[in-house]
Structure 1
C-alpha cells in the first residue's frame, strides 16, 4: 500500500529534540504538521516502530479495508480531502498521508524501526529520557516534550477470545495479520464477529469466495450510506478546494453530532429507521432478529455499510449472516449450540482489538512508574501530574482525527506559553485533596467488548471538565480554543512538584 522508506531522519546523529512524537500514523503526522505551522522553530522527530508510515492504514491489509467514517472529518482540518469517495479505501488514505509528509517536508524527520520501550522524565533536567529498540540495538534520545500518537490498540497482539479450534483442518486468520498471498477463490469462508471489520470483510470476499458467512453472537446496529458524498463533490466543482472542504467538514460534523444525540434522545425511533432501511434493501431476505441489536444505537459504534455492499451481497446469495454461539470447531467447519453446522475452508476471527495505553511504553517520572489508571485525563489531552506529555485517544462517536487536530493545536499553544513564561515544565496539577472532591465518571460509556475488556487500564474520568475525556467534539473544540491555556490548573514552572507522603501538599523535585 505504501512506498518503502529507507531514510531514517535528516540528521541521525541528533539525539535531543524539543518534541518527540511517537507514531507515524494519523496522530503523529498531524502533530508534526501543526508544529511546522504554529511552532516552526521547534525541533522534532517522529519515532515509528514499523518500517513504513501510516499506522492503521498500513498495518491492516484485509480485503476491503476502508474508513468507517467520512474522510472530510477523518481527514485533517489543514489538508482538504480531494478524492470523490468520502468513504475511502485504506490505500487511498495512505496516499493522502504520504502526500502530506512529502509536501510538508515531514518524511526526513521520521525515524523508522524505532520502537520506544521506556520514557523516564528527569525533573532536574526537565526532559524525557527515551529508550528505543532499533532492530535489536538499544539507543537513547532525549526530549523536552513527549507526544504519544501511537493509537489505542496493541499492534503486536490482537484480542484472543480463546477459541479451541479442535479438529478444524482449514486456515484460521486474524484481520490484524492478513497474509498477502491468501487465495480464497471458490472457498467457503466464515467470518466470526459483527463489528466494523467483519462488516467490511464479508462483502469484499464475497465476489471470489464460494460463500461468505458472518457468524455473530449478537447483532449489531448497521446503517447504509453512499461512499461518495454528492454535496461534497458538487461544492468542490464550484468553489475553491479549501472552502468546499471547510463547508463539507462543518456539514458532516454537525450531522454526526445530530445523529448521535438523536440516538441518545429517541433510541426507539432510530432503531425503527435503521431496520426499515435494511428491510427496503433486502426485501424478502430480511430477518428482523438478525439486525436488531440488544442495546440502543450508539451504545456501541454503528457499523457503516457503504453503497449497501453487504446487503447487495446477501441479496445475491453470496453472503449471509448467522446468529448463534459456537459449540465446537469440527474438521471442516463450525458446529453451533443449536446443532446447525457452518461449513468452512477458511475462518476469519474478526473478534476485536486489544487496547493498549501509551503505546505499551514504560512511562516513569524520576524512575517511579506512572500508572495511567491512577491518573485523571486533563482536557482529553494530558494527565494529572504528568509533566510535558500529551496523548491522542480519538472519539468513539466521531472521527479519530477530530481529537488529533484539537489536541495538536492545544499542545502548540502550551509550547508557546512555556516560551513566553520561560518555563521548561508544564503539567496539570491536581492535589490529593482536590482529587478527593472529584466525582468519577465512566470514561467510556460504551458497551463494546474491546472497551469493556480494557477499562481496568484506562485513565480516570471525572464528571466535571477539565478532568475528563469528553465524547462531544463541538463542545471540546470550543473549550480548547477559547479557554486560556494558563487556566490556573495547567502549571508552568521550572520546578516540577509531586505529592508528599501526607497526601495534602506538594514538594519540589530538585
Structure 2
C-alpha cells in the first residue's frame, strides 16, 4: 500500500485543527501539510453536536481566533454559526483543500531510524486501508470520545416506554412538541437544552444530583454595537476580545482568591434572575466557584422559563426508571415522554488512536506534557490542548504558534528531531485536568497525561504567563532535546524515556 508523505500532519479539522493549519500556512509556508479528519465536514465538536439550542459556553470574542476575530454581536453564538465561522476561516486561509475527510486513524508509530511517523487508517465509508507518513505530527483531537458520551447505568432503563437520548447522538427530527421532557444533568448542555426545548414541550424538568454555578450574561454586545458607529469594525472586535479576556481572567483570579465573596455575588445574580420566592438550594452548589466550570446563560433564558412555569428544577437522585418516567430516591416520580441524559463526556485522548514509539505503545496516562504542548519522550509530536478554566481557543492559539516557532527553529538549525525528556521524575499522581473537580475529569484521570510537580511539566492555566513563555521564551532550555543525524543517540534517548514511562 502506497503512503502519502507530508512534512506535517494535523489530526482533526475542528476549531483547534483549523486554527493550527492557518498558523502553519502563515508562519511555516515552506511546510507541506495535510489535515486528517474522521468526519465528512469541518467543525469537530460543532459539527458533531446538533441538539436544540447548541451554542458556545464562552463568549465568541475570546473563543474565536485572534488572527480572524469573531465579527458578530451575539456573545454566545449558536452551533451553526460557529461551524460556519470555522469553515469560512479554513476557506479564507486556503487550508480547506488540505483536509482529507473520512480518515479513521488507528495507529501512529514513530520510527527513530527513519525519522518519521507512519499512520495507519481506514476509509470511514469503504473500509479501505490508508497510510500516511510525516516528519512531524500534531494532534488536535480534543479530550473526549466522539463516538459516545458518558451515560451512567440506570436501574430499570429497559422498561421505560419513552425515548432515551444522549445529546451526543441527537436524532434528526425529534418531535417533542407537547411532550413531557426530563433533562438529567446541570452542566452546560443541560442549561442550554432546557430553555431551548421549553418553548414547544409541554414541560421540561432539569433533574440534577447537585447544582452548578449559573451566570447570566448579555446575549448581545451592545457596547460594540455602539462603537461600530464611530470606529472601524476591525478595531471594535479586537477591543471586545481584549476586554473580555481581561474580564474573564479577573473573574477567575478573584474567584480563586476570594471564593466566598464571589460565591455570594454569583448566587445574588441567580436570586435576581429567579425572584425572592425561589428555592435557592437548586442553584447553590456545595463547592466553591471554579472548582468546576461555571455555566453561562444568555439574558437569563433558563431563569425566565423556570419563572413562567414552562420548566422546573428538581434536585434529587435517581432510584430507577419506570414505564412512565423516573422514580427518585425521595419517592417522587417524574413522568416523561422523553428523557435526555446530559450526563457528560467520555474522556479520550488522540481520538482513540494508538501511539507508538519504535513499535512500543506509549502509555499516555504515565506521561507528562512539556509546556502542555509536547508529550514527554515522544519525538516530533505536539498536541493542541486548550484551557478548561478559560476559552479553549486562547491556549490552542498560542500552542499552535509555539509549534510553528519550534518547526522554524529546527529548520534553521538543520535539526530533524525534537523531544522533551524528564530527567527529574517530575510526575504526580493527578492528571493534567486535576484543577477541576467535574465528573468527567475525575472519570478521565486514568486516561489523561500526568500533572508535573514543577514547570515546564506542570500546567499553569494562566493565559498571560503561557503566552509570554510559549511565544517569547528561548526554545532551547536543556529539557527539550534536538537531534540532527545522531541516530544512535536519539534511539537510545527515546528508548530510555519510553521504558521509564
TM-score above 0.5: yes
2:236 counterpart residue number: 244
1:102 counterpart residue number: 91
2:421 counterpart residue number: 429
Question: Once the 2 structures are TM-superposed, how far is the Cα of residue 414 of structure 1 from its aligned partner?
Answer: 0.6
Match of 1:81 among 64, 70, 87: 70
1:313 counterpart residue number: 305
Q: Distance in 1 between matches of 2:430 and 2:123?
A: 40
Could you say what secondary structure the match of 2:159 adopts?
coil
Could you say what secondary structure the match of 1:390 adopts?
strand
Q: Distance in 1 between matches of 2:236 and 2:496?
A: 57
Q: Distance in 2 between matches of 1:501 and 1:408?
A: 27
1:141 counterpart residue number: 132
Query: Any residues of structure 2 matched to 1:238-277 within 5 Å, and which?
Result: 238-277=230-269
Q: Distance in 2 between matches of 1:348 and 1:451?
A: 21
Q: Does 1:413 align with 2:396?
A: no
Match of 1:198 among 161, 179, 190: 190
2:481 counterpart residue number: 491
Question: Once the 2 structures are TM-superposed, how far is the Cα of residue 235 of structure 1 from its aligned partner?
Answer: 3.5
Q: Unmatched 5+ residue regions in structure 1?
A: 1-12
2:160 counterpart residue number: 168
Q: Is 1:285–1:315's contact at 8 Å kept on the other side of the alignment?
A: no
1:326 counterpart residue number: 318
Q: Distance in 2 between matches of 1:504 and 1:316?
A: 59
Q: Does 1:362 align with 2:354?
A: yes
The change in CA–CA distance for 1:500 and 1:341 in structure 2 (over 3 A counts) is: closer
Match of 2:338 among 337, 346, 356: 346
Match of 2:282 among 281, 290, 296: 290
Question: Once the 2 structures are TM-superposed, how far is the Cα of residue 242 of structure 1 from its aligned partner?
Answer: 3.1
Q: Is 1:80–1:241's contact at 8 Å kept on the other side of the alignment?
A: no
Q: Distance in 2 between matches of 1:130 and 1:501?
A: 20
Q: Distance in 2 between matches of 1:190 and 1:502?
A: 53
Q: Does 1:475 align with 2:465?
A: yes
Question: Once the 2 structures are TM-superposed, how far is the Cα of residue 438 of structure 1 from its aligned partner?
Answer: 6.0
Q: Distance in 1 between matches of 2:50 and 2:130?
A: 31
RMSD: 1.9
Question: Once the 2 structures are TM-superposed, how far is the Cα of residue 231 of structure 1 from its aligned partner?
Answer: 2.7
Q: Distance in 2 between matches of 1:114 and 1:318?
A: 44
The change in CA–CA distance for 1:502 and 1:477 in structure 2 (over 3 A counts) is: closer
Q: Does 1:32 align with 2:21?
A: yes
Task: Name the count of aligned residue pairs.
Answer: 491
Q: Distance in 2 between matches of 1:505 and 1:377?
A: 17
Q: Distance in 1 between matches of 2:181 and 2:429?
A: 45
2:106 counterpart residue number: 117
Question: Once the 2 structures are TM-superposed, how far is the Cα of residue 468 of structure 1 from its aligned partner?
Answer: 2.0
1:218 counterpart residue number: 210
Q: Distance in 2 between matches of 1:352 and 1:457?
A: 16
Q: Distance in 1 between matches of 2:57 and 2:324?
A: 32
1:5 counterpart residue number: none
Q: Distance in 2 between matches of 1:95 and 1:505?
A: 45
Could you say what secondary structure the match of 2:288 adopts?
coil
Q: Does 1:391 align with 2:383?
A: yes
The change in CA–CA distance for 1:366 and 1:502 in structure 2 (over 3 A counts) is: closer
The change in CA–CA distance for 1:238 and 1:490 in structure 2 (over 3 A counts) is: farther
Q: Does 1:454 align with 2:437?
A: no
Question: Once the 2 structures are TM-superposed, how far is the Cα of residue 160 of structure 1 from its aligned partner?
Answer: 2.2
1:380 counterpart residue number: 372
2:30 counterpart residue number: 41
Q: Distance in 2 between matches of 1:285 and 1:292?
A: 15
Question: Once the 2 structures are TM-superposed, how far is the Cα of residue 167 of structure 1 from its aligned partner?
Answer: 2.2
Q: Unmatched 5+ residue regions in structure 2?
A: none
TM-score by length of 2: 0.95
Q: Is 1:354–1:450's contact at 8 Å kept on the other side of the alignment?
A: yes
The change in CA–CA distance for 1:238 and 1:487 in structure 2 (over 3 A counts) is: farther
Could you say what secondary structure the match of 1:455 adopts?
coil
TM-score by length of 1: 0.93
The change in CA–CA distance for 1:503 and 1:241 in structure 2 (over 3 A counts) is: closer
Could you say what secondary structure the match of 1:427 adopts?
strand
- Out of 283-292 and 165-174, give the one that drifted further: 283-292
Q: Is 2:8–2:135's contact at 8 Å kept on the other side of the alignment?
A: yes
Question: Once the 2 structures are TM-superposed, how far is the Cα of residue 498 of structure 1 from its aligned partner?
Answer: 3.9
Q: Distance in 1 between matches of 2:214 and 2:19?
A: 30
Q: Is 1:385–1:498's contact at 8 Å kept on the other side of the alignment?
A: no
Q: Is 2:320–2:327's contact at 8 Å kept on the other side of the alignment?
A: yes
Cα deviation digits, residues 313-366 of structure 1 (max 9, x gap): 011110010000111111111111111111100000000001101111100011
Could you say what secondary structure the match of 2:451 adopts?
coil
Q: Is 1:23–1:150's contact at 8 Å kept on the other side of the alignment?
A: yes
Could you say what secondary structure the match of 1:245 adopts?
helix
Q: Distance in 2 between matches of 1:330 and 1:502?
A: 56
Match of 1:159 among 125, 128, 150: 150
